[in-house]
């Protein structure tokens, strides 16, 4: 019998949490083990498949945080606890934990870009001994689009945090694009001993990358997580290819030296 990687397995939805009006977190029962930053293919029969990053993991469950922006995600939003989602994976490389452990970690996220890095942040939150310190800049469009409110509050305890809204006022949040706060990170204190993770919409990542370079951040220390259209997630369908790189196989996380040249 030939092993078929494309076979999805039915997994029960344990809970559905509304992070915001448009972003919900689905907790799904599964024993699949996932590295931080990896993604899974989520299926709904009749509708199709979509790659979704794992936003949190625990004993016997995985969480996915998503917006209803297409056929598959729209249909997932119709699902309730007790119903089933179909899963296969995990896929992709995930965050380079061996390049982060023991260092200063800077995480810069835009919007739901916080999802793929959430489980990593929570891991370090519980294991601060594995890391020097964490600086988190999280930007959201407006009050409505803030996600993971409880996590944000919790992280303030142990991380140095800057939370911002693009063009809205809110207590505990500053106003402006995430790029505006990059210079507030104490880069000079880090020496060479730091890693930066960037994840968000493509323009946000592009401008954040440039802003980091302006602040003297080394290209080799920056990692970005990409999102591309995918059908198979195993390097066959071709949708996510950029030059010689397959985002599903070689990514979704890339060192900036590679990421900066990934022109579609």
Partner 1 sequence: MGYRLNKEQSNALFAKLSEKYDIYAPKRFPKQGRYSDTDVIKYDKVTSFDEVEYTEKSTYPMKEVLNPVHQTLFYFNDEDYHEAVKNLRPMLIIGRACDINAQKIQERIFLGNGFHEDAYYRRRHDMAKFVLMECNGGTDTCFCVSMNANKTDDYVFGLKFSENGLEIESKDAEFEPYFSEYEKEDFKVKFVEDNQLTVTPPVIPDKEVLNALKKHPMWKEYDARCISCGACTMACSTCTCFTTRDVVYTENADNGERRRVSASCQVAGFDQMAGQREMRPTAGDRMRYKVLHKFHAYDARFHEGPMCVGCGRCTDHCPQFIALSATVNKMSKAVEEIMKEQGKEC
What's the min distance (Å) between Cβ of 97 and partner 1? Answer: 19
Query: Cβ contacts of residue 204 below 8 Å, gap of 6+?
Result: 110, 111, 113, 139, 177, 178
Among 5, 78, 143, 184, binds partner 1 (CB under 8 A): 5
List the x/- string, 224-243, binding to partner 1 by CB under 8 A. ---xxx-xx-xxxxxx-x-x
What's the min distance (Å) between Cβ of 7 and partner 1? Answer: 6
Strands (E), 154-213: 160-165, 174-175, 194-199
Judged by CB under 8 A, does residue 33 bind partner 1?
no
Query: Cβ contacts of residue 79 below 8 Å, gap of 6+?
Result: 13, 16, 26, 44, 85
Judged by CB under 8 A, does residue 246 bind partner 1?
yes
What's the min distance (Å) between Cβ of 155 and partner 1? Answer: 28
Considering the complex, state which of residue 45 and residue 186 has its C-beta at the smaller distance from partner 1.
45
17, 143, 145, 149, 203 from 20: Cα distances, Å: 9, 9, 6, 9, 23
What's the min distance (Å) between Cβ of 5 and partner 1? Answer: 4
Q: Residue 229, by phi and psi: left (phi above 0), alpha (psi -120 to 50) or beta?
A: beta
Considering the complex, state which of residue 58 and residue 202 has its C-beta at the smaller distance from partner 1.
202
Chain position carrying tokens 């972003």: 23
Judged by CB under 8 A, does residue 47 bind partner 1?
yes
Considering the complex, state which of residue 16 and residue 232 has its C-beta at the smaller distance from partner 1.
232
Q: How many Å separate Cα 150 from the centre of its chain?
A: 17
Q: Which residues bind partner 1 (CB under 8 A)?
A: 2-8, 10, 43, 45-50, 67, 69-73, 84, 86, 227-229, 231-232, 234-239, 241, 243-246, 248-249, 261, 263-264
């Amino acid at each position: 019998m030939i092993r078929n990687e494309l076979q999805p397995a039915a997994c029960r939805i344990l809970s559905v949490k509304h992070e915001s009006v448009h972003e919900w977190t689905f907790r799904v029962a599964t024993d699949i083990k996932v590295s931080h930053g990896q993604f899974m293919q989520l299926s709904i029969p009749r509708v199709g498949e979509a790659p979704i990053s794992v936003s949190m993991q625990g004993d016997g469950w995985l969480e996915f945080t998503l917006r209803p922006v297409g056929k598959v995600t729209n249909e997932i939003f119709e699902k309730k606890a007790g119903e089933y989602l179909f899963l296969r994976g995990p896929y992709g490389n995930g965050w380079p934990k061996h390049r982060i452990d023991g260092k200063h970690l800077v995480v810069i996220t835009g919007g739901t870009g916080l999802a793929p890095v959430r489980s990593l942040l929570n891991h370090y939150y519980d294991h601060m001994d594995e890391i020097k310190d964490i600086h988190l800049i999280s930007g959201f469009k407006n009050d409505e689009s803030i996600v993971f409110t409880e996590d944000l509050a919790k992280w303030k305890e142990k991380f140095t945090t800057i939370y911002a809204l693009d063009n809205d006022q809110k207590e505990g949040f500053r106003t402006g694009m995430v790029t505006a706060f990059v210079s507030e990170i104490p880069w000079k204190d880090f020496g060479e001993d730091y890693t930066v993770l960037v994840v968000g919409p493509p323009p946000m990542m592009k401008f954040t990358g440039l802003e980091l370079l302006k602040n003297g951040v080394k290209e080799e220390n920056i990692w970005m997580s990409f999102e591309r259209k995918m059908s198979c997630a195993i390097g066959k369908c071709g949708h996510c290819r950029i030059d010689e790189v397959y985002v599903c196989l070689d990514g979704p996380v890339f060192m900036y030296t590679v990421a900066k040249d990934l022109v579609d």
